[in-house]
Structure 1
Amino acid sequence: MTTARLPLFPLNAVLFPGLVLPLNVFEERYRAMMRELAAADEEAPRRFVVVAVRDGRESAPTGTGMPGRAPEPGTVERAPGEGFGPDPIQAFHRVGCVADAAKIRERADGSFEVLATGTVRVRLLSVDASGPYLTAEVEDLPENPAAESDEAEGTSAQEEAAALSEGVLRAFRGYQKRLAGASERSLITGADLPDDPSVVSYLVAAAALLDIPTKQRLLQAPDTATRLREELALLRKETAVIRHLPSLPAIDLTRAPTNPN
């Protein structure tokens, strides 16, 4: 299993592979991270790990990662692990997503505007708070372990995932229509959606209006078929609930999400 040590960026959000993540970075411990990433060779990936903070744990008090929120005047800069307890790894979900920063722009006030894309899932093995920012040792988390271990089982799993993907897309269109009150022609069409079941599973997980624990459960599903199966049940349940609610304001979910926050 491939392991690596990467900068760690905790958020009150879940990032999925293939999804875009815009960040507003104000706190010094995260500014230091971005300064180092920005100084790296532009041809090399500028990677860091996004991990969701567990319920009840403290996140960055100045709204790190949340667009439009700056630190309050007089905010004291904090140590890398401050706010996450004596053993920071306990404050985070153990499965996160590697982000590749395509854009890192430093503003005049020293804060950063960052645009990153989720790439692969990883599992946290340890967290180090001894440097200017948190780092984590992580290992890759394969999407479909069965496909790697047994070719016949892998083929069967892929066929199941493909069938589930079609059902999830149908359910997602119905969910969108109920939620947004949109006309059929304004919804995502088949031409706009990916064919790869794993990509579909991540797109739907990010676009659906679900709480962080549910999104985290979808992120760490052992394989695509399991994730799609759970999404199908969730979409059917949510659509049934929305059907019995009063009319909701229109919400534009017809575009690929650009920020899972």
Structure 2
Amino acid sequence: MSQEKEIPLFPLNVTLFPHMTLPLHIFEQRYRTMMKDIMDGDKLFGVVLIKSGPEVGGPAIPYSIGTTAMVETTKTLDDGRLNISTKGVDRFRIKNIIRNTPYLFANVDIIPEDTSIDLGAHQSLLDEVRELTREYVKGLVGLEGGWMQSVSLPDTGNNLSYFIASVLRVDANVKQQLLEIPATLDRFKQEAIILREQVKKIQIRIQKKYKFPKSGFN
């Protein structure tokens, strides 16, 4: 059963996932005001990807599904700007916008995690996405001239699916599609498709950059 909340919204050009961190630099006055109100309350707000409109200045229209974020640390700069660190908590769906000024404030439904499917019955898929994710992350590091012996991954299914979605370097709308998938198993299936394609692309780029025969990143 979903839980209803009233929260301020922060439209951005990024997609935040539950359990993932997001640093923010706050400089617009409306969002400074929002952060003051948040810190005086429960330190919770909603991050939503912008569907249309600018991130800075004028009004932005967000996607209907986003992620609640908890403020973990704040640092106020001399000129009033803020550096904050946040962590994603739950997915939510916007029911209606309560007000638009000085910042967006909405009535939302918290989306509960789908626990109806036993992920243990799909171990081969989980093993594949884990291995693909390790190859993908190692490949990204390799493209930048680095090297990783191992990649640490979350243990639990939901956390792993959100971790994978967060590290993918794909268009924001693709990440949004992953966020909106209701079931963790279906999210893993889509991530496997994306990872297979992305790993192949990285392998080709590394071969061209370093001029060595095709191989994995192990």
Fold equivalence (TM over 0.5): yes
Report how far residue 168 of structure 1 moved: 0.7
What pairs up with 1:1-261 in 2 under 5 angstroms?
1-40=2-41, 45-54=42-51, 56-61=52-57, 82-84=58-60, 91-144=61-114, 147=115, 154=116, 156-160=117-121, 162-181=123-142, 183=147, 185=149, 187-188=150-151, 192-245=152-205, 246-247=208-209
Report how far residue 184 of structure 1 moved: 5.7
Matched residue type, 1:112: L
Q: Which runs of 5+ in 2 are unaligned?
A: 211-218
1:197-229 deviations in whole A, cap 9, x for unaligned?
Answer: 111111111012111011001111111101111
- CA RMSD in angstroms comes to 1.9
Report how far residue 244 of structure 1 moved: 2.2
Measure the CA separation in 1 of the matches of 2:77 and 2:174: 35
- TM-score by length of structure 2 reads 0.86
Measure the CA separation in 1 of the matches of 2:176 and 2:100: 27
Moved more, 122-131 or 231-240: 122-131
Matched residue type, 1:11: L
- TM-score by length of structure 1 reads 0.72
Report how far residue 178 of structure 1 moved: 2.9
Secondary structure of 1:193's aligned partner: coil
1:1-32 deviations in whole A, cap 9, x for unaligned?
Answer: 31111010010000001111111101111010
Query: CA distance change for structure 1 residues 178 and 103 in 2, over 3 Å: closer, same or farther?
Result: closer
Measure the CA separation in 2 of the matches of 1:235 and 1:200: 14
Identity of paired residues, percent? Answer: 30
- How many aligned positions are there? 204
Matched residue type, 1:247: K
Q: Which has the higher contact order (CA 8 A, sep 6+)?
A: 1
Secondary structure of 1:110's aligned partner: coil
Measure the CA separation in 2 of the matches of 1:12 and 1:25: 14
Measure the CA separation in 2 of the matches of 1:95 and 1:5: 14
Report how far residue 128 of structure 1 moved: 2.8
Matched residue type, 2:173: P
Measure the CA separation in 2 of the matches of 1:162 and 1:18: 22
Matched residue type, 1:57: G
Considering fraction of residues, name the structure with more strand: 2
Report how far residue 131 of structure 1 moved: 4.1
Query: Match of 2:214?
Result: none
Report how far residue 164 of structure 1 moved: 2.6
Matched residue type, 2:139: R
Secondary structure of 2:8's aligned partner: strand
